[in-house]
Structure 1
Amino acid sequence: MTSGEEAGLAMSLVNDVTCPLCSSLFEDPVRLDCEHNYCRQCIIDYWKKGEMKSEGEVERKNNSGYTCPLCCEIFPQFTLKSNKLLATIVDRVRGLGIQYNKVPLERARRCSPSQGVLGRKAENERGRGLCSVHREPLKMYCEEERTAICVVCAVSKEHRTHRLAPIEEILMQCKETFQTAVRHFESQRDEIKKLHHKRGEEIKEIKKQAVSLQAHLIQETDHLLQCVQRERERLCSMLQRDMERLLALRQKALSHLSQETDTLQQEVASLRARLGNEVHDPAVLVKDIQDLTARLKAELVALDDDVTEWFDLGVYKGPIQYFVLKKLEEVIHPGLCSLTLDPTTANPFLSLSDDLTSTRYSHTPREGLPVGEARFEFSPCVLAKCGFSSGQHYWEVDVGDQSDWDLGVAGETAERDGWVVLTPENGYWTVGNKDVRRVGVYLDYEAGQLSFYNTEDMSPLFSYLGEKFTETLYPFFYPSADSNAQPLRLLNPRH
């Protein structure tokens, strides 16, 4: 071995027994749980004084534990273990009298290993494929921590219970996995293009549908606004006509009053002139004075035409919005359907009202009912008499005070024997078990739409869209199975 090699080996040995905090040979070395070693007093002073953030600036230690200056691992308790083997090695190195350059590390950084002197050193060693702690080649791989380690780390307390494998083996596995993923990605490229095209078309369709729906909303609301505008114009025109008529009556009365007043004033002036004339017939004069005096006393009664007519406040100061609402009900499409229940379809355990607009469950079945294909023999359900095979329709139902109900439509040929399964495949489009009291049902036969709403605020509950209706659909009702529950009622329009 050459002298240079011996010197290098000696310096390597010195470095292994040098404290990373004071850059001197270990004095009373202690080992932390992370397997890093320090002089006992160095690590105590380091933790006691705090870790340096920058020159002249001190950061207090983390209150949650104590940090290793090299790997930054945090320990919850202040524990130091004497490393007697390392102390023995240090004593032997001192006995050799090896000279070395002491480069004090005045402050440790409370930061990741990539910062400061220690961090740069570890980074350089890892860049050369060496372990930053043991300076051994990185030949193993820890799968739990997903990091490369050396063989010394592999047997350390930190990694000995982890899943380990040679790093070359892991690299081969990664390459194979990567190649498989690349091949899969390339095989899916056409599908990705199709999916990209599909999403692009969906975006176009959404924009197109939004424009169409906006036009529909404007058209429907404009129809109502026009109705409100017409009703407002009608009421304003009526008010204008009434005003002109009342003004004409008052003007006529005022004109008559003026004419009569002028006539009386002329007669008073004439009689005064006659009284000043000495030549007169006393008997005639007395009669004229008496007649005129009586007319003057009764002036207001005589001249008043008794015009007492005014505006009809029942029209102009009444519930105007309700007037308009009634007009809106005349133009709303579809209007509220008037439905009745079909007793020939009602299950025997359902009790129907005399007017066939409500039903409830009963523990006692009705007797003497004819058996037919139209009746629900097992499930407590009933249909409406009226069915729909085209157009738009809307009806409302008070479902009572329980939530175990179902509403919707049933196909004319839907199976009614046995326990009915309420699915579109079986000819039933329904919704139920919602915490609402009144439900609105909207059917657009041609569009294949059936929607349900909470009539309190018309918030949507559920919708079937794009269905292919091919037969007559009948409104379907399944009331609560609780015989004490309030009955299910059809909310028909008032006639």
Structure 2
Amino acid sequence: MTSGEEAGLALSLVNEVTCPLCSSLFVDPVRLDCEHNYCRQCIIDYWKKGEQKQEGEVEGKSNGGYTCPLCQEIFPQFTLKSNKLLATIVERVRSLGMQHHKVPLEGTRKCAPSQGTSVRRAESEGVRGLCSAHREPLKMYCEEERTAICVVCAVSKDHRTHSLAPIEEIFTQCQETFQVAVKHFERQKEDIEKLYLKREQEIQEIKKQSVSLQAHLVQETEQLLQCIQTERERLCSTLQRDTERLLALRQKALTHLSQETGTLQQEVTSMNARLEKEVYDPAALVKDIQDLTVRLRAQLRALDDDVTEWFDLGIYKGPIQYFVWKKLEEVIQPGLSTLTLDPATANPFLSLSDDLTSTRYSHTPREDLPMGETRFEFSPCVLAKCGFSSGQHYWEVEVGDQSDWDVGVADETAERDGWVVLSPENGYWTVGNKGVRRVGVYLDYEAGQLSFYNAEDMSPLFSFLGEHFKETLYPFFYPSADSSAQPLKLLNPRA
């Protein structure tokens, strides 16, 4: 017989010798006329409590009789028969240390076990511990709740449908499983050490790359800051020179005005002195008076040096930020590339603008196009005329208000027959369906980087990193397949 079967028989036996009122092994068991057994004191307490219940309750004494707690059969007389055979069996069960406790029915006492049973329980408690609810040894294990339980818990409704096993058996299995796991862990130690070293190297690489990227950011932005600083210093220096020149002109005019005014004042004083003398030459005096009078009346006009030069507000009050931005265009690297579409690669269903900077889908194919290996014969796509095999490049594309589009780059020898599958394995690095109107594309050929941005705010959309470009890459375009959509347009720099 297996340990599981033995445990089942033990649970069944304990269940048979357990009082349904106090959920403990019978103490002085008695049998009612209905053949149900109870502890003597339990059934007496039950009936006494029943007598105290309010009229109309079923429990306890009812209609002049005594009720069985289990079957509710009513007995007219208070008669209790001792069950000697059951008492003997209970003592045997107690000697085996297999007491059973159920949740007692309301209104009953919990029968105290015998002194011998208490001693045996204390001995068991030191070995395996006791159930906190039933004070019974924890001999079983519930796999669903992953907890040790006693045999009483095992037959309760809380665990009756669970997978149960003797705790010794589970303990043995756990030990075996643990030893297997330890051996597996020992075998994995070398791999764990390698992984640990890998993560440490990654940490160092991240720190190193962070320093390098920070230096790159500082270098790239420093050029722009230097350009802005240089332009600001140039404008401020020009303003300072103009200020000094205008002040010098006004100061010279002010000095001349002061000198001439002083001279006239002296002549007026001299003339008044001559008029006060009694002896004078009337003819000469008249002439001098007339000349001085004319000069006095014409003083303001004669002394005005006509200084009208002022600050050129076209320099200092114009669109200064735009001026600086134009200067920035000279230092921005890479600058915005100038691209045109290549008609030799355009699918017949694509209509190209005269300046070859925009394209859109058309339901009517062009029939005057020569066939060639460079043309997309089935997919409505087109490449740019200019390709890149080195360096850094940036261009922008207006994709319109439709989400059905793709832009990127393609290998020079990428397959163009049939339906084109856009993937790096097929020589196409593209992005599409991003819900933006303008897309910026940045290519760093040597670094193997192709990044896409929302050109309106330069927020990143997607990046291919660590690619190994080997062929010349041509900008690739697939406009929306909706002929009513806005055309896909290259946003070239202004002339």
Please list, as runs of the form range in 1=range in 2, the aligned pairs for 1:262-341 lying within 5 A after superposition: 262-341=262-341
Deviation at 1:151, TM superposition (A): 4.4
Could you tell me which amino acid in structure 2 is paired with residue 252 of structure 1? K
Deviation at 1:226, TM superposition (A): 1.0
Q: Match for residue 26 of structure 1?
A: 42
Counterpart CA distance in 2 for 1:353 and 1:94 is: 110
Residue 368 (str. 1) matches residue 384 (str. 2): no
CA RMSD of aligned residues (A): 3.3
Q: Match for residue 387 of structure 2?
A: 387
- Quickly say closer, same or farther: Cα 1:123–1:447, change in 2 above 3 A: farther
After superposition, what is the alpha-carbon deviation per residue over 1:57-88, rounded to whole angstroms, capped at 9, x for unaligned?
A: xxxxxxxxxxxxxxxxxxxxxxxx94569x99
- Quickly say closer, same or farther: Cα 1:245–1:92, change in 2 above 3 A: farther
Q: Match for residue 241 of structure 1?
A: 241
Q: Match for residue 93 of structure 2?
A: none
Q: Match for residue 109 of structure 1?
A: none
SS of equivalent to 1:188? helix
Q: Match for residue 107 of structure 1?
A: none
Residue 443 (str. 1) matches residue 443 (str. 2): yes
SS of equivalent to 1:261? helix
Could you tell me which amino acid in structure 2 is paired with residue 269 of structure 1? T
Counterpart CA distance in 2 for 1:308 and 1:25 is: 127
Could you tell me which amino acid in structure 2 is paired with residue 243 of structure 1? T
Counterpart CA distance in 1 for 2:122 and 2:235 is: 88
Please list, as runs of the form range in 1=range in 2, the aligned pairs for 1:450-469 lying within 5 A after superposition: 450-469=450-469
SS of equivalent to 2:192? helix
- Quickly say closer, same or farther: Cα 1:141–1:286, change in 2 above 3 A: same
TM-score norm. by structure 1 comes to 0.75
After superposition, what is the alpha-carbon deviation per residue over 1:90-110, rounded to whole angstroms, capped at 9, x for unaligned?
A: 9668999xxxxxxxxxxxxxx
Could you tell me which amino acid in structure 2 is paired with residue 26 of structure 1? C
Could you tell me which amino acid in structure 1 is paired with residue 335 of structure 2? G
After superposition, what is the alpha-carbon deviation per residue over 1:94-151, rounded to whole angstroms, capped at 9, x for unaligned?
A: 999xxxxxxxxxxxxxxxxxxxxxxxx9999665447635666544332212223344
Deviation at 1:435, TM superposition (A): 1.4
After superposition, what is the alpha-carbon deviation per residue over 1:377-399, rounded to whole angstroms, capped at 9, x for unaligned?
A: 11111111111111111111111
* 1:335/1:394 contact within 8 Å kept: yes
Deviation at 1:400, TM superposition (A): 0.6
Counterpart CA distance in 1 for 2:154 and 2:455 is: 70
* 1:388/1:473 contact within 8 Å kept: yes
Could you tell me which amino acid in structure 1 is paired with residue 219 of structure 2? Q
Bigger CA drift: 256-265 or 425-434? 256-265
Q: Match for residue 177 of structure 2?
A: 177
Q: Match for residue 52 of structure 1?
A: none
Please list, as runs of the form range in 1=range in 2, the aligned pairs for 1:96-135 lying within 5 A after superposition: 128-129=127-128, 132=131
Bigger CA drift: 153-162 or 475-484? 153-162
After superposition, what is the alpha-carbon deviation per residue over 1:429-488, rounded to whole angstroms, capped at 9, x for unaligned?
A: 111110111111111111111111112221111111111111111111111111111111
Deviation at 1:313, TM superposition (A): 1.7
- Quickly say closer, same or farther: Cα 1:305–1:389, change in 2 above 3 A: same
SS of equivalent to 1:223? helix
Q: Match for residue 487 of structure 1?
A: 487
* 1:412/1:472 contact within 8 Å kept: yes
Counterpart CA distance in 1 for 2:294 and 2:420 is: 96
TM-score norm. by structure 2 comes to 0.75
- Quickly say closer, same or farther: Cα 1:40–1:439, change in 2 above 3 A: farther
Bigger CA drift: 470-479 or 259-268? 259-268
SS of equivalent to 2:453? strand
* 1:29/1:84 contact within 8 Å kept: no
- Quickly say closer, same or farther: Cα 1:211–1:26, change in 2 above 3 A: same
Give the gaps of 5 or more residues in structure 1.
Answer: 1-11, 19-23, 31-38, 45-80, 97-120
After superposition, what is the alpha-carbon deviation per residue over 1:383-419, rounded to whole angstroms, capped at 9, x for unaligned?
A: 1111111111111111110111111111111111111
Deviation at 1:172, TM superposition (A): 3.4
SS of equivalent to 1:174? helix
Q: Match for residue 201 of structure 1?
A: 201
Could you tell me which amino acid in structure 2 is paired with residue 236 of structure 1? C
Counterpart CA distance in 2 for 1:428 and 1:130 is: 70
Q: How many residues were matched structurally?
A: 409
Counterpart CA distance in 1 for 2:123 and 2:311 is: 100
Larger radius of gyration: 2
Counterpart CA distance in 2 for 1:140 and 1:129 is: 11
